[in-house]
A and B are shown apart, each in its own frame.
Chain A
């Protein structure tokens, strides 16, 4: 790795970030929300984290992270040499160690190539613990750009037929590309519908996709509220989705974290738990 900021002689700069790409195939399943929240959660745990928006032309990670008013330069400016990498990076003042590298809004995906992404990440690696890349939907150039530098890939799917099918397609493409086995987030689960037999259970999705699970996130209105405000839901203590994303961040770090019971307060056991005051 030959990052400009790296080098053994400098001594203090010997971090080497893990590059994790978050992708899905299908749009609208929660990639950007997942990226923003996992990045914030990893930073909260004391890591140096940069989130890169690879959706050139349709940028949104800035808005979800609440940093849209602070963009001066973007990814394409860096690649085309109009600024240095450090100038394009926005530091999140609310969370120590969290940075955003925004996408360009007025260009398209062809302004970036997979090798550009590899170069940008190589330059960032020595100064960070984690580089999270928010992939655009689809399987074309933007997706190729997003996965090119990835050490690991996380696929986001909803428990619904079309996003599971698209996730399967992504898994196939990653296999053909000889990327390591991706891990799966099942997002926006509605426990009541699963219990009624009207939504695929996590086990069903895993049976079909045959990949490792890294997180399950319940549908949570708080996500909409926090996105409205540009404030990651992981920073809210009383959100189930926030807790789920915090758990994912810890699993990324290698911690063993039990999966959230999404069936809280249901049935007799939940009712007894409520009585004992263990409600939330």
Chain B
């Protein structure tokens, strides 16, 4: 690769980086057998369950699948709405 090409590429993702990112995403779902749609449904159910006891802000809930070695981990961040006194 010439210096010019190298400079031009610097700010752009290479196709192999894109491939790696796409693979990582698809494998997280393959390995856990959870499709993005199912993950969304699970998120709603969990918000509803927790919402029975405490007030949560559904708009700020984040739900993601993360990789830990070859196992996947479901990570939820559920901010609670402070109780008004």
Residues of chain A having any CB pair with chain B under 8 Å: 160-161, 164-165, 168-169, 171-172, 175, 194-201, 204, 207-208, 210
Contact = CB atoms under 8 A, between A and B. Distances in A.
B79 to A, nearest CB: 32
Looking at A175, A195, A197, A198, the one whose CB has the most chain B CB atoms below 10 A away is: A197
A61 B74 CA distance: 44
Interface of B is mostly: helix
A263 to B, nearest CB: 12
B24 A161 contact: no
Interface residues of B, number: 17
A158 B42 CA distance: 35
A262 to B, nearest CB: 15
A172 B14 CA distance: 29
A236 to B, nearest CB: 30
B30 A168 contact: yes
Contacts of B27: 165, 168, 208
Contacts of A194: 16
B20 interface: yes
A175 B9 CA distance: 40
Contact of B26 (A165, A172, A197, A198): A165
A165 B23 contact: yes
Contacts of A160: 19
Contacts of A197: 9, 14-17
A23 to B, nearest CB: 17
Looking at B20, B23, B24, B70, the one whose CB has the most chain A CB atoms below 10 A away is: B23
Contact of A165 (B15, B17, B30, B69): B30
B15 A198 contact: yes
Contacts of A196: 1, 14
A244 to B, nearest CB: 21
